[in-house]
A and B are shown apart, each in its own frame.
Chain A
Amino acid sequence: MKYSLLGLIKGAGNHHKDWPAAWRQPEPKPAYDVVIIGGGGHGLATAYFLAKEHGVTNVAVVEKGWIGGGNTGRNTTIVRSNYLWDESAHLYEKSLKLWEGLSQELNFNTMFSQRGVMNLAHNLHDLRELNRRVSAIRLNGIDSEFLTTEQVKAFCPIINTAPTIRYPVLGASLQRRGGTARHDAVAWGFARAADRLGVDILQNCEVTGIRREGIRVTGVETTRGFIGARKIGSVAAGHSSVIAAMAGLRLPIESHPLQALVSEPVKPVLDTVVMSGAVHVYVSQSDKGELVIGAGIDAYNSYAQRGTLQVIEEQMAALIELFPMFSRMRLMRQWAGIVDVCPDASPIMARTPVEGFYINCGWGTGGFKATPGSGWVFAHTIAQDRPHELNAAFTLERFSSGALIDEHGAAAVAH
């Protein structure tokens, strides 16, 4: 059923008891045209665009837990497209344009809020780098502007801009079209929309092996039995190396925990997203009133979805330096997601040497913003068996050709 205001009013008359399930719980079919491994935002978006843009509806999304339970539900929900290099800028801008119409497109409120994303500069090098970045971004036709210290204070009055602090705020870049979105809603919205187009979403279905005949894939072994597939797309984030190994591939990926935490809910106090690389903090306020705070990655490889305390300690020290008024706030929850870090901090969305096996990974610490764009280009790559021009540079081969896309600065915080 289509969600609408009228439906909401009708539902209220019945104490909201009769809402149908948003997607089916189907049994696996013996075989599909495409099996997507991983029911996070990127995987569900891929399935949705396969069905909608390319007419490939005989698709299954297999998810070992519940959809959106991995990094989709663990990130800090920031959406922006202020990337330095042309390849990234075009990809993330495509994604941001999709975000701008996503709630309408999916008939599901993703709570996308373009409240602006501000990146602070704390030293002369930061200032020069930010100016270069602002110019490069504008040359790509993407909105970006430079703010002086006074403008930062006017835009976000609670930041401590005193010149006497250890890392004074000397300026900032601002992308007004950036902002935040409700991360769960993105997964649910894509799942519901994909389901309506005929995609089977198979939860609690863990992939345990990939079956091959020669260099061609024939299907996946799962905890719910063998599922045949002409094509397989792996969108497994932190577990990408594990899935790739099942297909006999090695990846330039290492898995690390990335931590985040939220405070107790308070009244509206921060109406934008603030990021700072030099002191390492990124923070926004959720609609519930919690401060959503992101930390850096833990240095060692891990699949444990938990991080260490010293990372959070540094994180909170940076936060309080910038926002002294948060010093007595209590934190409610802390968690980690396992991120797939690529050597050049750019993703891989490409065909592989194994025929019929496609990978979408390496998003590292910044995949959430790319969710719709990633699904859009990856669906094209799978359906047409060749990349879209937007992801043509994001290949596996770049790690032997040397055509890396170095976006280490793009996280705007040093991970």
Chain B
Amino acid sequence: MLLIACPFCGPRDETEFRCGGESHIARPGPAETVSDERWGDYLFNRANPKGVHLERWLHGHGCGQWFNVARDTVSHRVLAVYRMGDPPPKDLTP
């Protein structure tokens, strides 16, 4: 079970959170210029790395805020927590 440091509430049990999947996915646009392949890539394709994963989490049973987590998908170690809109830590960016 993970201990996640919510940037607003501090360290809390994993069961208070929901994982929202890969972070930093930008919606392509304007819509009429986006090909089906590009749109399908945006909707469905994911990096799914074995190692550092940048992902969104929601503190649903807490402050209700979204934020970003950098987590290792093999050790489950939380490597960094940072706010929505912030760039990922440089040393963790693939």
Interface residues of chain A, those whose CB is within 8 Å of chain B, are 239, 241-242, 250-255, 299-304, 308-310, 343, 399-402
Q: How far is the CB of A21 from chain B (nearest CB, A)?
A: 33
Interface residue B47 (Cβ < 8 Å from any Cβ of A): yes
Known: A304-B73, A309-B1, A399-B44. A254 touches B21 (CB 8 A): yes
Contact status B50-A239, CB under 8 Å: yes
Chain B residue, CB-CB nearest to A398 = B40
Known: A239-B50, A310-B15, A400-B37. A302 touches B44 (CB 8 A): no
Contact status A343-B44, CB under 8 Å: yes
Cα separation A292 to B53 with both chains bound (whole Å): 32
Residue in contact with A253 in the complex, picked from B2, B46, B50, B76, CB distance below 8 Å: B46
Q: How many A-B residue pairs have CB under 8 A?
A: 69
Cα separation A250 to B19 with both chains bound (whole Å): 21
Q: How far is the CB of B90 from chain A (nearest CB, A)?
A: 22
Interface residues of chain B, those whose CB is within 8 Å of chain A, are 1-2, 14-15, 18-19, 21-22, 36-37, 39-41, 43-50, 53, 55, 71, 73-76
Q: How far is the CB of A90 from chain B (nearest CB, A)?
A: 24
Contact status A303-B50, CB under 8 Å: yes
Contact status B14-A308, CB under 8 Å: yes
Contact status B44-A301, CB under 8 Å: no
Contact status A301-B1, CB under 8 Å: no
Contact status A241-B14, CB under 8 Å: no
Q: How far is the CB of A171 from chain B (nearest CB, A)?
A: 32
Residue in contact with B74 in the complex, picked from A300, A304, A308, A400, CB distance below 8 Å: A304
Contact status B73-A254, CB under 8 Å: no
Contact status A242-B50, CB under 8 Å: yes
Contact status A400-B40, CB under 8 Å: yes
Known: A255-B48, A299-B18, A302-B73. A399 touches B40 (CB 8 A): yes
Known: A303-B73, A304-B76, A310-B1. A254 touches B50 (CB 8 A): no
Known: A250-B41, A308-B14, A400-B37. A300 touches B48 (CB 8 A): no
User: What are some 6 contacts across the A-B interface (CB < 8 A)?
Assistant: A241-B50, A251-B46, A254-B21, A399-B44, A400-B36, A400-B41
B contact residues around A402 at 8 Å (CB) = 36
Cα separation A22 to B75 with both chains bound (whole Å): 36
Contact status B1-A308, CB under 8 Å: yes
